[in-house]
Amino acid sequence: MRPEPLTPARTEAELGCETMAADAASPPLWVIEVPKPVRLWASTGPFPSPELATTRALIGVQAMSGASPGDMLACGPALSVDLAPGRYALRGRVRSAQYTESGVAPGIDGFAYRISDLADSSCPKDLATRGIHDWDGQFPFTVDTDLDLNADGHRELRVEYQMGFTNPGTRLLVNEAYPRCLRVVADVPALLRPLPTRTHGFSDLRLAFWQLHPVDGFGGRMVIEHDGRYNASTSAYDVGRFVRCRDGLPGESPAADRERERLCERWLKSNDGSAAPYELVERWLGVPAYRDRLEMPTELAGTQATALLRALDAERVRWQYGAVRACEPRAGERAWVFGLELHAEHDPPGAWSREAFVVVRQPRGQPARVSAVLDASPCPVADVPSDIEPFVDAWLEKPWSEARSAASGSPGLSAQHLRLQRARAAERIDLADVSGCAAPPNAPAWLWTAQRRAPPALAEHMSSTPTYLVIRRSARGFVVDSSTEVRPPHCSF
């Protein structure tokens, strides 16, 4: 293993074997002297499935004649070549779909290579742990060979490691033909376990994510379990059906723990599958070879999408996320808007010269896909009017027979109105805030949030439970549109 970082490619034209071979002015990553005929194997790391690739890298071996570079003998993400006695240079290039805040691509630190006897085609298993470090010197990673996912007689590799103190990670790799050797099919911030049944091959897995409680204000760590679902068309794993929540750090009250788990499961069942598809957008923006695979619809041949992709591929424009929001759900479809801050080559550090909005849509039962690139968000967040709080206060003081005139016909509103009234009378309610929701400009919406403190029997062990009212304008003022204990995705922070 060599620690030298690969050379960043700032444009697509700079990421190529021909460009790398012609770059005689830059020093190579490594120079090797070969005294006898040998085989050289080199790799930039375990080869990822296309659905996981947001960083691409190449490494090449080049003959050297004196101090000058000669022919590029082999080049690719992984290579194997027989070398005659002589002097050789190893060069590498990397291009990432993302950048750090300082404008530097995260890239790949170093590369792996091996010099061995001719005809050696063994695969080094330590390649599986490439890029994984012992976090804080306390949690060494482990490698298991307890999976034969596709029933081909070869054991796959499962690497468990710590991403942080309470954040485990798992990398799952399958065997590939030499010289690639290993292919990553999952690299997730979760524990990955085979189920006891082991009857469904690729699909018979369980992912356990350690996350903060999804309900606002609860805090604490929950273990959130999902089925692992293998997608044969992309050769990678998707997070499948939500299974359950478990309290990762149980307290002294089993009743409070059960209530925490109930609210966690209710939140996730209401929002299952609504997480913004960051990975899809990053691959579409940064990996040209996969754009067609990501179901880029024909309308994206328009000038705005074409101009954005050309700027990223050829004009050294960098991007970073701005606001990313779910739009208000429509019947049969979800949508998200990814705000991008675009940094031109000559922009001052930390500054960005323009922005773009990438729209992702997902019809029910279909995969999400990039559908448009716009100059303005189609679902902006409206400013909060100053008279919403007085409106809600007055609405809660009225009996339901009067309050329903300023309410929609949404189910459960009358029951929620009564619960809030009783909590106010018992002085167990606190107003958290009023914020905007992502909605069409002609139909703005706002979210009124209150915290209902737990009953005295559970107050010592539980946080307050949030209650949300979605407010809209009507011809006569405001109207309470709906109520829930789960924050609507399009009204997220």
Domains and CATH numbers, the chain: 8-123 (no CATH), 141-177+201-269 (no CATH), 275-376 (3.10.450), 387-485 (3.10.450)
Residue 282: which of 252, 253, 308, 321 has the closest Cα?
321
* Strands ordered across the beta sheet of 236-247: 191-194, 205-212, 221-231, 236-247
pLDDT band at 66; cut points 50, 70, 90: low
Residues 185 and 202: their CA atoms lie apart, in Å, by 11
Residue 362: which of 323, 322, 330 has the closest Cα?
330
Buried b (16+ CB within 10 A) or exposed e, 227-237: bbebbeebbbb
pLDDT digits (tens, 9 = 90+) for 208-252: 999 888 877 677 889 999 988 888 777 888 888 889 999 998 888
Say whether pLDDT at 464 is over 80. no
Say whether pLDDT at 91 is over 70. yes
pLDDT digits (tens, 9 = 90+) for 319-346: 989 999 999 888 888 899 999 999 988 8
Say whether pLDDT at 103 is over 60. no
Q: Would you state the pLDDT for residue 76?
A: 93
pLDDT band at 359; cut points 50, 70, 90: very high
Q: Would you state the pLDDT for residue 79?
A: 95
Q: Would you state the pLDDT for residue 297?
A: 57
The reported pTM is 0.82
Residues 142 and 134: their CA atoms lie apart, in Å, by 10
Q: Would you state the pLDDT for residue 438?
A: 93
Q: Is the Cβ–Cβ distance between 202 and 222 less than 8 Å? A: no
Q: What percent of the chain is modeled with pLDDT above 90?
A: 35
**pLDDT winner (highest mean) among 36-45, 49-58, 362-371:** 36-45
Q: Would you state the pLDDT for residue 81?
A: 95
128 - beta bridge partners?
none
Q: Is the Cβ–Cβ distance between 444 and 471 less than 8 Å? A: no
Q: Would you state the pLDDT for residue 392?
A: 92
Return the structure tokens found at 461: 């062990």
Q: Would you state the pLDDT for residue 272?
A: 65
Q: What is the mean pLDDT of the chain?
A: 85
Q: Among 48-57, 270-279, 305-314, whose mean pLDDT is lowest?
A: 270-279
Q: Among 15-24, 95-104, 353-362, 475-484, whose mean pLDDT is lowest?
A: 95-104
Higher local confidence (pLDDT), 99 or 381: 381
Q: If you average pLDDT over residues 458-463, what whole number do you get?
A: 69
Q: Would you state the pLDDT for residue 238?
A: 83
Say whether pLDDT at 356 is over 80. yes
Say whether pLDDT at 106 is over 60. no
Q: What percent of the chain is modeled with pLDDT above 70?
A: 90
Q: If you average pLDDT over residues 155-167, what whole number do you get?
A: 87
Q: Among 177-191, 270-284, 329-343, 355-369, whose mean pLDDT is lowest?
A: 270-284
Three-class DSSP category at 172? strand
DSSP 43-91: ESSSEEPGGG-SEEEEEEEEEEETTEEEEEEEEESEEEEEE-SEEEEEE
Say whether pLDDT at 432 is over 80. no
Q: Among 48-52, 297-301, 353-357, 430-434, whose mean pLDDT is lowest?
A: 297-301
Higher local confidence (pLDDT), 136 or 172: 172
Say whether pLDDT at 152 is over 90. no
Say whether pLDDT at 298 is over 60. no
CA 66 to chain centre: 47
